[in-house]
Structure 1
Amino acid sequence: MFTNNDINFEALKRKAYNGRWATLEDGIIPLTAADPDFRTAPEIEQGIIDYLKDGYLSYGPFSGLPEFKKSVSDHFNKEKQGSFSPENVLAVNSAAQGMFLIASYVLHPGDEAIILDPVDFLFKKSVETAGGKVKLCPVDKETGDIDFEKMVSLINSKTRLISICNPHNPLGKVYAKEILIKIAEIASDHDLWVMSDEIWSDIIYDHRGFHTYSSVSEKAKKKSFTVYGFSKSFGIAGLRIGAVLCHDQDILEDFTERSHFNSTIEGVSTLSQIAASVALQKAKPWYREFLAHLQSNRDLVYQLLSRSEVLTPNLPEATFVAFPKINNGMTSDEFAQHVLKEGKVAVVPGSERWFGKGAEGHIRICFSTSKEIVEEGIKRIITSF
């Protein structure tokens, strides 16, 4: 199901944008955007077809279809130690949109938000779009550990929000319950909001446990939002479907109102919600095979890079991206440009643009593809020097 023969490269070259097959010259291997090369689960395809059979594509409830809200809450409660009800779920147009809506809800112009460094660029972008100011809290690039002393020192009268990425992109770190409780205590002591981006929480290796942030303590439930999406675990990025979860119903209702999800101004495609619901209800066997394939690829990337002198690999606990360290003195941008030109492989540089100042000296490699593509891509990177 996840072999090289299962990849439709012609379809990818027509449809896979965002720095992938459809945007690059023939002959270049894209190990860039975190999106699978495999077609989505057959159960999802059939679910979309079945929904269309009666010929109606009407408006759904503004906050989300009942089956969508229930499937998301059930998934969090069974798989992520959650305690959500369907009413705690709001359907949004992707996890990324959820992040932007939360920043806009929490921050006024001039307010400050603490984000991790390095971390995906959308954290910084969402704060700045809301008129807020970013404060960077360092994360150890080898261990993923958060510098809590620095985090507390960043808090002042303008601070409104702490945003975390769990599992962490690009480091692949899964934060334990004890770490999340500590974040909740800091937030509670200073009356801050917390946003936990958990879009990667389905892609976790070695049977490691995961705790959704807002369920680790009573303090974590207060003034917190959780963001979730389906693009990583089920390969439906183009359907633009995600969720915002919040235990406090009054807060979520106010958030829904102020984000314009209480009328036809906003709202999510019913077709996308059906696809997501089917994914969680019927496509778990496909997902489990996908996860096993990804863990095998993770181990393969680590083994191949361990033989290299130009890169030192990390072993991510989660996500399907690796974040190896550059050893030859090149900057991240120089390295990425070199392997693109000489090796015909596209990777994401660990530059400030993509991950913040703390990412320099690394590249990000996506391995959500076939074993053959991974092997060829890593071989080209190593032999291009």
Structure 2
Amino acid sequence: MLAQRTTLFNSLDAPAVSKADQLRATGEEIIDLSVEEICSDLSPVVRDGAIAAIDHNLNRYTGTIGVRKLRHALARKVSAETAQPWSEDEIAVTNGARHALLNVAMSILNPGDEVLIPAPHWTTFPTQVALAGGRPILLETRHNNYVPQLTDLATAITSKTKAIVVNTPNNPTGAVYDRDTLADIAQLAIERDLWIIFDESYKAFTYAPHAHQPIVSVAPQARDRTLIVNSFSSSLALSGWRIGYLAGPKTVISAVKALQSIMTTNVNIIAQHALLYYLERGDLYFQMQLERQVATARALGLSILSNLALVPRPPAEGGIYFYLDLTELRRKANAKGREIDADDVANTLLMKARVSAASGTVFGDPAGIRLSYGIDLAQLSEGLRRLTEILNTWS
């Protein structure tokens, strides 16, 4: 069992990322386009909230699933965003979205339960399902611009299906699900009595004409079967603070409370009070500045990537990632007798361009590469120019 779990965890590490760490250890300068965070200063309001908490000598345990006032503030936030009433008893504060998702898997899944996961997918979705004894069922979405088709979802449902993962804006692809797609998924979940695991961690970043739609706003009738996962890692550039939340029915939150009490107990008290301070006061200037920074990086990146010869323009409809479809590049290489996959491309980019990219193999896709545009603009520009030159040489 230990060997199986070790293999499961190791499968999350892309070979090129491991090699990048080795190169850095020797002093090599690597441009890292594989990161899952935004390079930004801290919000002054969040900082002031943390300092105020320290000045008040806050150092004790809080409630297992969060300070009650914070859960109340988060319930108000979710209520405003979804146009549905939520109470503090339907909110659990977690150590980021990853923790919230593991809580969900451990709380709702029984051994053998199946979970439908559109692919390419964020790395930990299938792993957490497997850890809970469930079976991840991956559904290819490339043929539909990285958005699952209702017919594919319906066909994949069996008597063992327990939940559908809906991740929009999507990591890694950047796809944003439209209103009709969300309505169809919600109706399917209702008809087949399924949970909806709705991960909206990148909702702060969407680009016209696309817009983020909370699924319970689109389909209020699905509210009692929807588990909303979010964090402040991207929206406030607080990745290292590890704070997020889960919103869902009281029965699930009660199960999460029992689970969290024996795993992690409460989230760091300073982070909780800093977030509460922010939610009570807001920081519109910081939010606008962060959104402008990410939008500028996206525009710059798309301009450079438009020079790629055999790789189509990445969706980049939302989130902080470009996802490159290498299908045509692979076809050309195969026609010349050379079989390649995303790992080969990522390794070549690292060794020849000193650019670290996330191989699609960790997202269940051997024909994709994910690039982050949350990094410093100068580094982004140089990294993408090097990448474009290498890929065009291959063509």
Same fold at TM > 0.5: yes
Contact 1:336-1:349 within 8 A present in 2 as well:
yes
Cα gap change, 1:104 to 1:38, in 2 (>3 Å): same
Matches within 5 A, 1:352-367: 354-356=362-364, 359-367=365-373
249 and 155 in structure 1: CA distance in 2 versus 1, 3 angstrom threshold: same
In structure 2, give the amino acid aligned to 1:294: V
Give the whole-Å Cα distance in 2 for the aligned partners of 1:82 and 1:214.
Answer: 8
Give CA deviations for 1:176-204 in whole Å, capped at 9, x if unaligned: 23222211211111111111111111122
SS for the counterpart of 2:142 is coil
1:198 aligns with 2:200: yes
Distance 2:386 2:69 in 1: 46
- Cα distance in 1 for partners of 2:140, 2:346 equals 24
TM-score by length of 2: 0.84
Write 1 or 2 for the structure with the bigger share of helix.
2
Structure 1 partner of 2:276: 277
Q: Distance in 2 between matches of 1:347 and 1:265?
A: 32
Q: 1:92 aligns with which of 91, 94, 102?
A: 94
Deviations for 1:281-307, whole angstroms, at most 9, x for unmatched residues?
Answer: 433321211111211211211111111
**Could you say which residue in structure 2 is the equivalent of 1:128?**
130
Write out per-residue CA displacement over residues 349-384 of structure 1, whole angstroms, 9 at most, x where no aligned residue. 111xx211xx32221110112321111111111233
2:266 is matched with 267
Give the Cα–Cα distance (whole angstroms) in 2 for the partners of residues 131 and 166 of structure 1. Answer: 25
Q: Percent identity?
A: 22
Tell me which residue corresponds to 1:256: 257
* Shift in Å, 1:216: 2.8
d(CA) in 1 for partners of 2:278 and 2:19?
25
CA deviations over 1:62-109 (Å, ceiling 9, x no partner): 221133223323333334545423332111111101111111111111
Q: 1:19 to 1:169 in 2, by over 3 A?
A: farther
Counterpart position of 1:213: 215
Specify the SS of the correspondent of 2:60.
coil
4+ residue stretches of structure 1 with deviation over 6 A? 17-23
Whole-Å Cα distance in 2 between the matches of residues 86 and 26 of structure 1?
49
Measured in 2, the distance between the counterparts of 1:86 and 1:332 equals: 44
Distance 2:282 2:22 in 1: 30
Residue 309 (structure 2) pairs with residue 309 (structure 1): yes
Residue 184 of structure 1 corresponds to which residue in structure 2? 186
Amino acid at match of 2:265: E
Q: Residues 1-385 of structure 1: matches in 2 within 5 Å?
A: 24=24, 25-140=27-142, 143-206=145-208, 208-246=210-248, 248-257=249-258, 259-261=259-261, 266-280=265-279, 281-309=281-309, 311-326=311-326, 327-329=328-330, 330-351=340-361, 354-356=362-364, 359-384=365-390, 385=393
What is the identity, as a one-letter code, of the residue corresponding to 1:100?
L
Q: CA deviation at 1:127?
A: 0.5
Aligned residues: 362
Aligned to 1:5: none
Partner of 1:7: none
Partner of 2:329: helix, strand, or coil? coil
- Structure 2 residue matching 1:162: 3-state secondary structure: strand
RMSD over aligned CA atoms reads 2.5
Unaligned runs of at least 5 residues, structure 1: 1-16
**Contact preservation (8 Å) 2:49, 2:275:** no
